Structure 1
Amino acid sequence: METKIFSKDQLDDAVKLLAKGELVAFPTETVYGLGAIATNEKAVKSVYAAKGRPSDNPLIVTVSGEEMMSRYVEKVPERAKKLINQFWPGPLTLLLFVKKGALPKAVTGGLPTAAFRCPDDKLTHDLIAKLGYPIVGPSANTSTKPSPTTAQHVYHDLKGKIAGIIDDGPTKVGLESTIIDLSVKNPVVLRPGKITPDELSKVLGEKVRINSGKVSDKEVPKAPGMKYRHYAPSAPVTVVDHADDFAKIDLNNETGVAALKGELGKIDLPDENKFNLGNNLTDADHNLFSSLRYFDDKANIKHIYVQGFSDGESSLAYMNRLNKAAAGHHLNV
């Protein structure tokens, strides 16, 4: 299969492919998503096949707004309306009860709930509006690999497996959306993102908890990122919690280091063995997946060390992704 790269002026061509049941990757402000019409079960199953994604890992439904979402949910509760008014379009996904039979089992994993998101990207809004249907939107990468933040990342993983990619340049946020479960009595964040639990709590006027439980092997997760290995390059990753500890590592030509600019200057490695995460945590959020992909493409790199942060809720999303990439391995010195 030829994978075509579409510019914003070729949106109609991408719409035609989706309408025919083909897969097209699309941009969002967080990461690139892999699109298929959410009500087309055959197309949705093709998403799992293209990504190599476990079939019991539910998909996010990408909509153009509350009106489109309301076609599929039992009702839009008041809590959801408050969050929509404050954060949509944006990096927030809402888990709600769906109408029976409204979405295929391949989308919901057989659960009575589904996750809905309205991304802050005009191209994607136009795409969904022209299509007239919501699209599923898991990250457009090979399952377990770092999420894609450029069209080139998507092409690297899925060339020949999907029909097209809409290129809108690098994503702005760089980490996937916050997922909040509104199907329970007390709202809970199932996956942290740019929008923090504290911000959600202030809008809702009630405490938003953070999920700390683990999903068993036999259990279907409510949302992506809760059960399976994610974001991992081929080489093992270790989290370095204290920047001063980089000096205690036996670094060599087979090691890669991703850290803030100020820390990289202290590290005695060739430039090609170093990745600049930027000047601050916001930059690091944006660049984390790119750093992991950078080293994944280097055959000589046998181990990757990445700077960690302990900045409370502001570093929650970054550390969630990095810990998954590192399988929980932190430097012990």
Structure 2
Amino acid sequence: MTETALALDRLRAGELVAIPTETVYGLAADAANPQAIAKIFALKGRPADHPVIVHIAGSAQLADWATDIPAHAWRLAEAFWPGPLTLILRRQPQVPDAVTGGQDTVGLRAPAHPVTQTLLRQFGGGLAAPSANRFGHVSPTTAQHVRDEFGSQCPLVLDGGQCEVGVESTIIALLDGPPKLLRPGGVLREQIEDLLGVRLEHHRHSQSAKLRVSGLLDSHYAPRTPLISGPMHSVRTLAAAAAAAGQRVAVLTLQGSEGYPASILLHPMPGDPVLYAHLIYDALRQLDSLGFDTLYLECPPDSAGWLAVNDRLYRASHQRIV
């Protein structure tokens, strides 16, 4: 039996399977089976009212899960699916509350990874699949990350290699009023605005009290080691002082080693936002496993191309220096 066939058997039996996507690895269960979805929440330690995104093969399944679908949704699906874009729409009545957190909306996306595309086409339905990690922790971008996260509790993992994008999907709400950017991700804000010919509403670092969606808590995507982020000069000063006080310190730097004491481990990150997104979760996981007292991070530029990366770093940081 192939791994895909085994995964299908387990999903149809109400069990969990970790699946690769182009963004991060997901912890998948049959989205039509509330008992199966409950296993995701139990394994992750996820709050019961926190909704999960339903993964489908493509736009042909949109109407199975959503109703009152606006023209903007069809245009976005045609342009960016399969791909790293989640649409928040009005739910069909039969969609389980376990998926929606009891709301009248549902999040839908069609992932681009060929392994999961094949799985979804053969499965025929939708898969609820939040990131395959403990709630609030750094998302996994390799199969080994998933195994490390869950240890002996780890479900079957379909190994699809390292995730190409490396941060979670863009989330767009298409409900009342103009489209809203709720979470930046692999599809850029500018690409969506150009396609729709409208300006997206986006309230940075805040979540509407009226709508709960995945990944918008102020503390999320975080390593277990304290992470302090800020401008280069502030990080350099604080990291040097911590090292001088005897702490074991690492710095994720964009600027190289100049100005840092030799006792500090430096982890250089690329100056390109696409490559940075591809590598950041792996870097945080590596450093988190090495027993440092504190991690420091030099913040990337506050410009359009870095919107998704800066969103994740804001939520991953235990302390943010302005």
Please report the TM-score for the alignment, with normalisation by the length of structure 1: 0.89
1:248 aligns with 2:241: no
Runs of 4+ in 1 over 3 A off after TM superposition: 212-216, 244-247, 264-271
Are 2:65 and 2:106, in contact at CA under 8 Å, matched by a contact in 1? Answer: no
In 2, Cα distance between equivalents of 1:308 and 1:329 = 10
Are 1:57 and 1:221, in contact at CA under 8 Å, matched by a contact in 2? Answer: no
In 1, Cα distance between equivalents of 2:103 and 2:314 = 27
Q: Offset of 1:275 from its aligned partner?
A: 2.2
Tell me which amino acid in the other structure corresponds to 1:286: H
In 1, Cα distance between equivalents of 2:293 and 2:268 = 19
1:291 is aligned, of 262, 283, 286, to 283
Are 1:22 and 1:162, in contact at CA under 8 Å, matched by a contact in 2? Answer: no
1:159 aligns with 2:159: no
Q: Secondary structure at the match of 1:257?
A: strand
Residue 278 of structure 1 aligns with which residue? 270
Moved more, 205-214 or 146-155: 205-214
In 2, Cα distance between equivalents of 1:57 and 1:220 = 13
Q: Offset of 1:71 from its aligned partner?
A: 1.0
2:222 is aligned, of 227, 232, 237, to 232
Is there any run of 5+ residues in structure 1 with no aligned partner, and where?
1-5
Q: Secondary structure at the match of 2:61?
A: helix
Q: Secondary structure at the match of 1:159?
A: helix
Matches within 5 A, 1:58-207: 58-100=51-93, 102-207=94-199
Q: Secondary structure at the match of 1:232?
A: coil
1:303 is aligned, of 287, 294, 308, to 294
In 1, Cα distance between equivalents of 2:167 and 2:50 = 19
Q: Offset of 1:246 from its aligned partner?
A: 4.7
Are 2:302 and 2:310, in contact at CA under 8 Å, matched by a contact in 1? Answer: no
Moved more, 277-286 or 34-43: 277-286
Q: Offset of 1:132 from its aligned partner?
A: 1.4
| RMSD, aligned CA | 2.1
In 2, Cα distance between equivalents of 1:213 and 1:112 = 23
2:314 is aligned, of 305, 323, 332, to 323
Are 1:44 and 1:136, in contact at CA under 8 Å, matched by a contact in 2? Answer: yes
In 1, Cα distance between equivalents of 2:125 and 2:257 = 46
Q: Secondary structure at the match of 2:153?
A: coil
In 2, Cα distance between equivalents of 1:258 and 1:264 = 10
Q: Offset of 1:152 from its aligned partner?
A: 0.6
In 2, Cα distance between equivalents of 1:152 and 1:97 = 36
Q: Could you list the per-position Cα deviations for residues 265-292 of structure 1 after superposition, in whole angstroms to 9, with x for gaps in the alignment?
A: 6644468x33232342222111111121
Q: Offset of 1:192 from its aligned partner?
A: 1.0
Residue 51 of structure 1 aligns with which residue? 44
Tell me which amino acid in the other structure corresponds to 2:237: K
Please report the TM-score for the alignment, with normalisation by the length of structure 2: 0.92
Distance 1:284 1:182, change over 3 A: same
Q: Number of residue pairs matched?
A: 317
In 2, Cα distance between equivalents of 1:175 and 1:27 = 13
Residue 3 of structure 1 aligns with which residue? none
Distance 1:283 1:264, change over 3 A: farther
Q: Could you list the per-position Cα deviations for residues 246-268 of structure 1 after superposition, in whole angstroms to 9, with x for gaps in the alignment?
A: 543315361111123x5146644
Moved more, 207-216 or 306-315: 207-216
